[in-house]
Amino acid sequence: MATLIRMPEVAAGATEIVLSKWNVAVGASVKVGDIIAEMETEKAVVDYASDAEGTVYKILVADGASVEVGSPIIILLGAGEDGSAGDALIGGSAAAPAAAAAPVAAAPIAPAAPAAPVAPPVAPIAPVDNGRSFVSPIVRKIARERGVEISQIVGTGPQGRVVRRDLEAFIASGAVATPTATPTLSASSELAKQEYSSSYVTVPHTGMRRAIARRLTESKSTVPHFYVTADCKVDALLELRKSINESSPVKISVNDIVVKAVASALMDVPESNVVWNAEAMHKYESADIAVAVTTDGGLLTPVIRGVEKRSLSNLSMEISELAGRARAGKLRQEELEGGSFAVSNLGMFGTKEFTAILNPPQSGILAVGAASPRAIVEDGQIVVANIMTVTLSADHRAVDGALAAQWLAAFVKRIENPLSMLV
């Protein structure tokens, strides 16, 4: 039986997804579970496994095309079927893959009763549907924000749809209308304006930047954050790290030990290893911890599973491997999902202390500052020690103040006695 496969919702809430690359060609045999394409969401590259089997008859979307969720992307034929069965699935049309350089033309519908002859358009008009531009909702929203008239853009998506790629190319071409000019200034005023006014370059938002803005705005607006701060004496930690790195082929970072201490504290205070859910609290038995990674496009938080069971060397290699793929844009969607806790470390940039915003549904995130020599009182004497300030941001729906303080005390105990995490 012929099968029409549509663009799946590979990421929660996504309305449009880029089909990065097909792994099959026309005539190829496909089985259930075969990886037939790579799809790019706002934060990750996702391998798409077919949920049907058959022979590839038509590929309806070209590599690199931005496709709305639910749109047809490929047709498979069953054993013994010919092309008529596949064509019937799309109304007999022989749709070609959508490509950036080959927009699909469609005639505009004429007005019912024009009051006067209508002049021909001066630029190609995007396909219309009942007088409206054929455009995905997300593109319509961005165009409205940027003041772009959709009818000026030629669509290159399926059936001539105006997709995000078309909008960004149109904006980059400089064809966006400029605001009406203000009254002419005097020569001296204009000269002063040119001398002292600032200039800037408009950088369009990436999908990742929009996702970060949306999620963190939602988090800060809807999740009741509260904060608990502590100073940790890390002289023993630094000595242990030095000793390990002198003999181990795997170099351990301060952040590796911090992540391990977070997991140990979650095991010490299991009531804190929870996630708020509208129906019930989800209490985790394992420490799955997200680690913030800075990339050129923004912040990503891949999740390391079962941190409490890992050795420091194994944990270090896992964090390094995930961070490398994050910067290369090669993370899979499932590697960005889950976890009850996160770690954000700005100590390597010299930041003394800061607070972090929760990444829902996680209930806690630890903001880690730089370790530096400070004067402290110890046994009634003023001494110098290496101190690291950490701040826990917690979701008050899942974690009460006393519980957060208990967890932070457990973390401080672990980080100040790092050998306890190795036995």
Contact 235, 385 (CB under 8 A): yes
Rounded to an integer, what distance in angstroms lies between the CA atom of residue 421 and that of residue 237? 11
Rounded to an integer, what distance in angstroms lies between the CA atom of residue 78 and that of residue 86? 9
Residue 369: both structure tokens together? 């500052």
Contact 236, 385 (CB under 8 A): no
Is residue 396 part of the annotated active site? The answer reads yes
User: Residue 255, Cβ neighbours under 10 Å: how many?
Assistant: 20
Q: Tell me, what DSSP letter sits at residue 273?
A: S
Cβ within 8 Å of residue 4, ≥6 positions away:
72, 74, 75, 89, 90
Rounded to an integer, what distance in angstroms lies between the CA atom of residue 146 and that of residue 203? 12
The CA radius of gyration of the chain, in Å to the nearest whole number, is: 28
DSSP secondary structure of 94-128? -PPPBBTTBPPP-PPPPPSS-SSPPPPPSSPPPPE
- C-alpha of 181 from chain center: 39
Rounded to an integer, what distance in angstroms lies between the CA atom of residue 30 and that of residue 36? 8
Query: Is-cis flag, bond preceding 361, omega within 30?
Result: yes
Sequence-ordered alpha helix ranges (H) in 46-163: 83-89, 137-146
Residue 159: both structure tokens together? 């059936």
Rounded to an integer, what distance in angstroms lies between the CA atom of residue 114 and that of residue 18? 40
Contact 385, 233 (CB under 8 A): yes
Residue 355: both structure tokens together? 């607070």
Rounded to an integer, what distance in angstroms lies between the CA atom of residue 84 and that of residue 111? 36
Regarding beta strands 341-345 and 293-295, do their DSSP bridges make them parallel or antiparallel, or are they unpaired? Answer: unpaired
* Sign of CA pseudo-dihedral 215, 317, 348, 412: positive
Kindly tell me the burial class for residue 314, based on how many C-beta atoms sit within 10 Å of its own C-beta (0-12, 13-18, 19 or more): middle
Q: Tell me which of 205, 225, 282, 396 is the catalytic residue.
A: 396
Name the residues annotated as catalytic: 396
